[in-house]
Amino acid sequence: MKFNNKHVIGKNVKIGNNVKIGDNTIIYDNVTILDDTVIADNCSIGEPLNAYYFEKKYENPKTIIGSGSLIRSYSIIYASNIIKNKLLTGHHVTIRENSQIGENCQVGSYSDIQGDCEIGDNCRMQSYVGVGKGSNIGNYVFLYPFVILTNDPTPPSETIFGVSIGDYSIITTSSVLLPGTQIGKNCLVSANSCVNGKYEEDSFISGNPAKLIGKLSKMPFFNEMKIRHYPWMNNFDRNMPWNIIGYKEWKKKND
């Protein structure tokens, strides 16, 4: 990959070893980019907060991009984000301020993560996902295209009830999670569902309005091997930390 060094670097920026920065990209003040990261063309890293435009004494908060990350073109990452290693974004991604993102996460093209979000490790967000402010997403969560997590129960208002999603849960295409919805661990939300309320671990949730159908592990969802697919961790390991030894053995070693 060849860049032409036509980028802008602000003050107090710390850049690690073997970092590549694309053309027309701006790295604002107080950003740290750790080793082996690629920031592609036309990105904005440490994008100033709203106060930057109105306060003369504004100082940009610290922003950290973890090592081994790939930020694709036209992505904007606001100041005051803490992002751990191996973030992978698509194009035109926006990550707003005061969010924390764990290791080895993927955020698809045209996705928008609003402020004050917490996202665990090894999460996968496909294209056109919207994560509302105040959302809390666990580890190994999959959000498929056009999933929306909302947060305003009486729009428009200043009230925010963020959505919570537990570890290993899957939210499939075009589903909407309404403000304050709580999804437990190892749950599946079927496509085009509109979900409200609180759901326990191992729930299969479907419909508009969504309802609890039953225990996910008891549903007749069989894969090509003709075995129950859920919990999915026993049957899917691509880019997962258990891809060599299997989930059960990995879990045993990490408990």
Q: The whole model's pTM is what?
A: 0.94
Percent of the chain with pLDDT strictly greater than 70:
98
Please report, as a single letter, which amino acid is at residue 57: K
Residue that is written with structure tokens 């894969």 in the block: 223
At residue 2, the pLDDT reads: 59
- Mean pLDDT of the region 168-194: 98
Question: With 90 as the cut, is the pLDDT of residue 6 above it?
Answer: no
Question: With 70 as the cut, is the pLDDT of residue 13 above it?
Answer: yes
Of 49-53, 171-175, 251-255, the least confident = 251-255
At residue 244, the pLDDT reads: 87
Mean pLDDT for all residues in the chain: 95
At residue 68, the pLDDT reads: 98
What pLDDT digit, counting tens, does each position of 118-157 carry? 999 999 999 999 999 999 999 999 999 999 999 999 999 9
Band of pLDDT at residue 17, cut at 50, 70 and 90: very high
At residue 11, the pLDDT reads: 94
- Domains (range + CATH), the chain: 8-222 (2.160.10.10), 223-255 (no CATH)
DSSP per-residue string spanning the chain: -------EE-TT-EE-TT-EE-TT-EE-TTEEE-TT-EE-TT-EEEEPPGGGGT-TT--PPPEEE-TT-EE-TT-EEESS-EE-S--EE-SS-EE-SS-EE-TT-EE-TT-EE-SS-EE-TT-EE-TT-EE-TT-EE-SS-EE-TT-EE---SSSSSS-----EE-TT-EE-TT-EE-TT-EE-TT-EE-TT-EE-SEE-SSEEEEETTEEEEEEGGGS--B-TTSSB--SGGGT--TTSTTTTT-HHHHHHHH-
What pLDDT digit, counting tens, does each position of 95-111 carry? 999 999 999 999 999 99
